[in-house]
Amino acid sequence: MTNNELQNLLEIATVAALAAGAVLQSFCGKLSEIEEKGRSGDLVTEADKASEAVILEILGRHVPDHAILAEESGKLGNASSKYLWAIDPLDGTTNYAHQYPFACVSIGLLIEGIPQIGVIFDPFHNELFAAAKGLGATRNRRAIEVSQISELTKSLLVTGFAYDRRETADNNYAEFCHLTHLTQGVRRSGSAALDLAHVACGRLDGYWERGLSPWDIAAGVLIVSEAGGQVTAYDGSAFEINSGRVLATNGKIHADLGDALLKTPPLSSWG
């Protein structure tokens, strides 16, 4: 695919993300429907659905022959297409439902399973993060790059907890405690997409999480990579978007963070 073709697809994703962000702004503080999707804490609102509808309409006009994987609507479009749009119309729904302004729209395009386009729009801080494979990453159309922190002890990290954290011992609590002791701090924002965007622009030095879906991270992992960062599995092996796990850093602390994750003592050992 040529750079011009990638740029055109990036613009389509940008238009969709900005339009969806306007929808989120219009619904904020005015929700009348907040539901759980089968798991405690896994919320959906009319804002999620309206935002997704806008994105689907724009993609339907511009790329009707592409496949889509959307958080609320599932699989749509041409299942045999090599193009797959992974859409989260509102990443950070719990934050949004509580009027905590840390949520975003995330739109990623995978071509033959590889992230090639990523757009994340934070409508509450008016920040647009975007990237296309080989073309770099931007925030509000200005180039960004990851931080230069090279020591884990001087790093600021971010993570999250999956919806099944109450039912499984593999819940990230031990890792959160362990890394809090080894670094200058670990944040928990409630939006995987924004966590990745903030690693990409150097506000945070590393991010890890489990229990993720492709729409959570398809855009963000590309933006981190194009900003000069590194994205892998926890053990440093190749990142698999369907694995549900990701380790993303500025690259300089990547090996140390991965090693710390693998050596985290079980929560039962904490006094």
Q: Which residues are annotated as a binding site?
A: 71, 88, 90-91, 216
Please return the burial class of 88, using the count of CB atoms within 10 Å of its CB with bins 0-12, 13-18 and 19+: buried
List of residues 6+ apart from 74 with CB closer than 8 A: none
Residue with tokens 């050992």: 269
Q: Would you mind telling me the total number of residues written for the chain in this entry?
A: 271
Closest among 238, 45, 21, 17 to 131, alpha carbons compared: 17
Residue list, annotated binding site for Mg(2+):
71, 88, 90-91, 216
- How far is CA 2 from each of CA 96, 116, 132, 137, rounded to the nearest angstrom? 38, 12, 11, 17
